[in-house]
A and B are shown apart, each in its own frame.
Chain A
């Protein structure tokens, strides 16, 4: 069992509208998965399904081998930080840790305390009086001390200033190195993705649009610049095309090098690639969703 999280034709409907549908993927152990997509694309829905806050309308989801909606032991092994890091604002960090200790079997109090001490965050003040960055750190320490196998973060840094964001991500990444976690995080901030994630899921209009290991995706995508009227390369799938009077720019997905001399090929950044897909939800370089596979 190498998949930490597995979904099959997963769907969630609120009354008439589908928030997520036909979602099939498998997340291998030990990787960091970035979940991106516009607002309302279903990111929060997918993450909430993964921690049992929501129940699927169709399909199935398995986390660490069981159904998160039925098996609380899965929740003890999963750390979840919801959007805007909700915490009991009148609790101190110590109170929150006391809660964590009582509600989770594998709780590691030393770990929680050490992390706060390292960041010089007061643990005897109500967390409501802390800065947003400090609150996020407390929330992260709270889930890390559960010694989870899987960490799920919904827009963890969206509301943080750049310094707080950096500190949060530093703590997160060193913890991942230390504890060997699998992480799924959703983010608006495409710029951070390349350094954080080794796998990527692009959700768009309630469906999975692109997914795969970041290295492979980057290797497969090229930006081609050529004169207007140059025929599109036959051995590549065009994700996006833009034309000026003289010039045509293509973002393509291809498995081999572009040999046609009429096109000059350039590598593309993860951010540009994701944006190209998001601009056109119908663009599918993929024949359809396919499960993520562990990259070698």
Chain B
């Protein structure tokens, strides 16, 4: 069983924080198939958080095929995030590393890089 936490200063909305925590626990092997997630009531009660938020997170996880609600029993892990690393991922990662190296040589700081990434990503989204 995992314990959820909530970062109130984060700009990530509460339900996504819960979703991310389950994903992370799956990646780290803290959760495995057939493990039960805490009940909505328990999460709502311990975090003092809206139960609808918890429900929404669990629904989202269910849509992703990671968990399944079993009536009267609870919500159980049915999927895994064993990180199937495709070859293409590795190639993209290498290119990004090379680009980052070049940026550093050009004198860009880490913040410059993040700002450039953000604006580029948004204009790419806008164009798409």
Q: Give Cα A230–Cα B60 distance, bound, in whole angstroms.
A: 39
Are A258 and B122 in touch, CB under 8 angstroms? yes
Taking a contact as CB atoms closer than 8 A, the residue among B40, B46, B52, B119 that contacts A170 in the complex is B46
Question: Contacts of B52 on A, CB cut-off 8 Å?
Answer: 30-32, 198
Are B44 and A176 in touch, CB under 8 angstroms? yes
Are A197 and B125 in touch, CB under 8 angstroms? no
Are A261 and B123 in touch, CB under 8 angstroms? yes
Is A218's beta carbon under 8 Å from chain B? yes
Q: Which residue of A lies closest to B9 (CB)?
A: A269
Interface size class of A (residues with CB under 8 A): 20 to 34
How many A-B contacts are there with CB distance less than 8 Å?
Answer: 71
Question: Contacts of B48 on A, CB cut-off 8 Å?
Answer: 166, 169-170, 172-173, 195-196
Interface set, chain B 3-27, CB cutoff 8 A to A:
6, 8, 11, 13-14
Per-residue 0/1 for B17-46: is the Cβ within 8 Å of any A Cβ (1 yes, 0 no)?
000000000000000000000011110111
Question: Contacts of B51 on A, CB cut-off 8 Å?
Answer: 173, 176-177
Are B13 and A173 in touch, CB under 8 angstroms? no
9 nearest A-B residue pairs (beta carbon): A174-B45, A259-B126, A177-B51, A169-B48, A177-B41, A173-B44, A177-B44, A170-B48, A195-B49
CB<8 Å pairs between A and B, sample of 25: A166-B48, A170-B48, A171-B45, A173-B48, A173-B51, A174-B44, A174-B45, A176-B50, A177-B39, A177-B41, A177-B44, A177-B51, A194-B8, A195-B6, A195-B8, A195-B47, A195-B49, A196-B48, A198-B50, A198-B52, A257-B122, A259-B122, A261-B123, A264-B115, A269-B11
B residues with CB within 8 A of A: 6, 8, 11, 13-14, 39-42, 44-54, 115, 118-119, 122-123, 125-126
